[in-house]
Chain A
Amino acid sequence: MSIPTAKLKKPTLKVTPSSRAMNISTSGILRLNRSATYARSINASVSRKSFCLAADSKILEKSSVQTPKHTIQVLDENGKDVTPRPVYQPDPAAVQSKHSKIFASDTSGGTMSDFYSTTYQTTTNASFAGAFTRSLFGSGSVSIGSQSIMESMSEEIEDPSSKRDNSISLSDVQVKREEVKELIQEEMLDDMVDLYLVESDTLCLLDMPAISVSVDSMEAESVKERNSRYTELCKNRTGNDKYMGRSMQTFNGASKTKEVQSEAITMADAATIANNWDMYDSFCSAGQGEVDLSTDTDKASIAEMIHQNHGPTRTMERTMSVISSSTIVSSSSSRMEMEPFVVPSESKPDPELILQSEEFQQHLFVMERIILENIYQPKLAAYRQLPTLEDPDSMPKAVPMVVSRREESSLDEEGPPTPALERLWSFSCELTTGRNVSSMAWNKRNPDLLAVGYGQFAFKDQKPGLVCCWSLKNPSWPERIFTCQSGVTALDFSASSASMLAVGMHDGTIATYNVQSREKTPVIDSSDCVHKHTSPVWQVRWINHERALSGEDKGEALISVSADGRISKWFLRKGLDCIDLMKLKRTRNDRFKRQVGEKERKSEALISRQAPGLCFDFHPTDSNIYLAGTEEGHIHKCSCSYNEQFLETYQAHKGPLYRITWSPFCSDVFLSCSSDWTIQLWRQDLFTPVLGFMSTQRAVYDVMWSPKWATVFGAVNEGRMEIWDLGASILDPTIVNPASPGVKLTSLLFATETDCVLVGDSDGQVSVYQLKNFTAGEGTQVGTLEDIIGSTLASQL
């Protein structure tokens, strides 16, 4: 295609200061050229077209892109060629040559147009890429040197000159023509290089012509004229056919509603209360976890626990609450035990297992006691001498107040209230009904624990014996039940090891039980012993020997007396074994005073030479001396040092002695009771009793000094229970309590710390009575007793 640029070889332009016209003309030319320059191949013949726009005129070009360079020659008024020399004159031969050549003043730039076209191409490309696309050009090698392109083409308006040196390498130029690199030679380095900095053309990016014109300017006149013409036109517009008003309506786009619905967002409230114990538990469990397990297992277990939704461990729940917000579940299961990071099992405990568990039994135990406490509270309080709490909700007794006042006044008239017994309760249950209470003993360490032995006295109707340990807190069921093969006849608790209970039985066996354990079998049994008793053991006692006896160890020893006439001391040496402290020999029951050590010489036919021993009692202070009572009615004073002879013999009773007790206050005085209906009070040095008491014609089974009052003792015979107060009367008992009909009272026991008496009967009941209104002072008791004795003796003389 022909290149119309050929025509533009040397267009002569008259450059005027007002270059507007020129602009227009130039643009016209530009337009032509535009089409041409898009062509790829530019005729090289259009070489040496150097042009440039008037640099010194303010030419605002329409767009830098569309500003081709034409070979314009500018002539001034004189016709001088003042064509600005081009900034860049590429020399195809020496494209790579020195910078100086570029700016050489010779306008013999060879293929300028080519160059321009290529650069223009690149510019176009660049411009399409972006206005400020220096970088693109910069990517190429700088081998071309610091050639500067026609900066006016791609340069920004503002910096025409400064960036000359930073040439934009024309990588594309290399596409077009081959460049011959001229080797930089030595001599070239020393040449002087001239650099010229020339202002480039101004690029116009935006042209906003002003809408206001200064009054002084040249155009003012024309502008004014035009304005006035316009105003007139506006006036004439209305009614003028030339002008019509017209309205248009815009279409409104049809609106469309669209709805979207999302799933309801479920919300759940989670709340937790950090309690004091909550934090404490977490702290404790966390501390335990660190100590016990490694951190790996910690994390693993925590992760596991998060996924557990129901776990029995408090720890787990607390970590859940720590890690994730826990709900009320955590607070409800807060009563879990502390199990450090044990992965809990999901299985619920079997209901049966619950019932068998230890804690359940313990709880049952406690619950029962509490229930009984509710029932027995007034009685127990009376026992313990506490003020009884009156139930505020119980129905008031239907006794009018007037009558009670009268009663009280009548009582006052009588004088001081009489001592009486009040029955509090009785220890009994269905196990014990029908059995005969044979012996009772308090535990030495726990005064609330009572051991009761059940066994028949008589030889006939023997049945297996029973030992029950009762607690004061549960009068309806014993704490321990031990069944023995034969009737129990004697009991005693040990003082040194308070849980040892010695039991003597009707067949002569002696057994010791440990009441702490739940075992039903005795700890040790004497049935294998060679020297065991062959007859019923009527009394056992734990005696504490202070002084060691001839090589034997100090401590507590078990002493027993049995109907085979032996008093034996039991000890543990490869099993239970005994040695005889004394053999009770028969002594003739005659009136003569007996000398110490006199033996029997009569050749009466006797069934046995032994006298059955029924009771004994060690001296309260001197544990070497003891008294033994026999079936004959003799009381022998013996010593542990002599096992052949008695020290003394007291004879007064005509029947078997059932009980001998030293007085706990007066060390010389002792009491004895027997089946000859009498109770005798003895003094150690007198061979006849000081006082004798007889109230009924019944055998007295048991007698006991009161631990609180020196002049008081209690006795129980078949039909009734009596409390004697020697300070009040030596002839009659102070308090008499008859037994229920058909029931025989068999044993008596004073409570050590309170004013209560326990009475056992043949029906298996142990009744607890409280002594009321018993005003026997303590201080002068001993003196009183001795006075009584003294006065009695004096009166006898």
Chain B
Amino acid sequence: QAEVEETLKRIQTHKGVIGTIVVNAEGIPIRTTLDNSTTVQYAGLLHQLTMKARSTVRDIDPQNDLTFLRIRSKKHEIMVAPDKEYMLIVIQNPSE
């Protein structure tokens, strides 16, 4: 739907957003605003981290589940919305 495209476009135009990536469960990018190598790198690394995070959350309480993951680093913030079929990644530099 056009709404989804619009939202994606809007996200990209927000202040400080460096890139938006949507990958499917195998790590193949569906939508990305970064170059391919960076996309694949981000997707691969974040996939593993998300797995680990989810495992941690569920180990503590199996009825719980991971819904969102934010990593704040010195330079920017990586936000990951994981799902069973895809992963939405946004990199933002909020202090721009």
Interface residue ranges, A against B (CB under 8 Å) = 275-277, 279-281, 312, 331-332, 334-337, 348-349, 351, 354-357, 359-361, 363-368, 370-372, 374-375, 377, 391, 393-395, 476-477
Interface size on B, residues (CB 8 A): 45
Q: What mask results when residues 23 to 57 of chain B are scored 1 for a CB within 8 Å of chain A, else 0?
A: 01110101100000000000000000011001100
CA A332 to CA B54, docked complex, whole Å:
11
Interface residue ranges, B against A (CB under 8 Å) = 1, 3-4, 7-8, 10-11, 14-17, 22, 24-26, 28, 30-31, 50-51, 54-55, 58-60, 62-63, 66, 68, 70, 74-75, 77, 79, 81-86, 88, 90, 92, 94-95
State the Cβ distance, B23 to closest chain A Cβ, in Å: 9
CA A253 to CA B58, docked complex, whole Å:
72
A336 to B, closest residue via Cβ:
B84
A363 in contact with B81 given A275-B55, A280-B62, A351-B24 (CB within 8 Å): yes
Residues of A within 8 Å of B15, CB to CB, are: 375
A360 interface neighbour in B4, B66, B70, Cβ under 8 Å: B4
Number of A-B contacts (CB under 8 A): 114
Q: Assess the B81–A355 pair: CB atoms within 8 A.
A: no
Q: Assess the A363–B79 pair: CB atoms within 8 A.
A: no
Q: Assess the A335–B84 pair: CB atoms within 8 A.
A: yes
Q: Assess the A334–B51 pair: CB atoms within 8 A.
A: yes
Residues of B within 8 Å of A477, CB to CB, are: 10
Residues of A within 8 Å of B95, CB to CB, are: 391, 393-395
Return 23 A-B CB contacts under 8 Å, by A number. A275-B59, A277-B59, A280-B63, A335-B51, A335-B54, A348-B24, A348-B26, A349-B25, A354-B30, A354-B86, A355-B30, A355-B31, A360-B22, A363-B81, A367-B88, A368-B14, A374-B92, A375-B16, A375-B94, A391-B94, A391-B95, A393-B74, A394-B95
Q: Assess the B7–A365 pair: CB atoms within 8 A.
A: yes
Residues of B within 8 Å of A364, CB to CB, are: 4, 7-8, 11, 88
Residues of B within 8 Å of A368, CB to CB, are: 7, 10-11, 14
CA A364 to CA B66, docked complex, whole Å:
16
Residues of B within 8 Å of A355, CB to CB, are: 4, 22, 30-31
Q: Assess the A371–B14 pair: CB atoms within 8 A.
A: yes
Residues of A within 8 Å of B28, CB to CB, are: 351
What 9 A-B pairs come out closest when comparing CB atoms? A280-B62, A277-B58, A374-B94, A394-B95, A363-B81, A277-B62, A351-B30, A276-B59, A354-B86
CA A275 to CA B55, docked complex, whole Å:
8
B58 interface neighbour in A275, A356, A372, A395, Cβ under 8 Å: A275
Residues of A within 8 Å of B83, CB to CB, are: 359-360, 363
Residues of B within 8 Å of A337, CB to CB, are: 84
State the Cβ distance, A249 to closest chain B Cβ, in Å: 75
CA A367 to CA B87, docked complex, whole Å:
12
Q: Assess the A277–B24 pair: CB atoms within 8 A.
A: no
State the Cβ distance, B61 to closest chain A Cβ, in Å: 8
B14 interface neighbour in A281, A366, A372, A391, Cβ under 8 Å: A372
State the Cβ distance, A432 to closest chain B Cβ, in Å: 15
A359 to B, closest residue via Cβ:
B83
State the Cβ distance, B14 to closest chain A Cβ, in Å: 5
Q: Assess the A348–B25 pair: CB atoms within 8 A.
A: yes
CA A614 to CA B7, docked complex, whole Å:
39
B62 to A, closest residue via Cβ:
A280
Q: Assess the A371–B17 pair: CB atoms within 8 A.
A: yes
Q: Assess the A476–B4 pair: CB atoms within 8 A.
A: no
Residues of B within 8 Å of A348, CB to CB, are: 24-26
Residues of A within 8 Å of B60, CB to CB, are: 276
State the Cβ distance, A556 to closest chain B Cβ, in Å: 33
A374 to B, closest residue via Cβ:
B94
Q: Assess the A371–B11 pair: CB atoms within 8 A.
A: yes
State the Cβ distance, B44 to closest chain A Cβ, in Å: 12
Residues of B within 8 Å of A280, CB to CB, are: 58, 62-63
State the Cβ distance, A398 to closest chain B Cβ, in Å: 15
Give 16 new A-B contacts, CB below 8 A, not counting A354-B22, A364-B8, A477-B10.
Answer: A276-B62, A280-B62, A331-B51, A332-B51, A335-B66, A348-B24, A351-B24, A360-B4, A364-B11, A364-B88, A366-B81, A370-B68, A371-B90, A372-B14, A375-B14, A394-B95
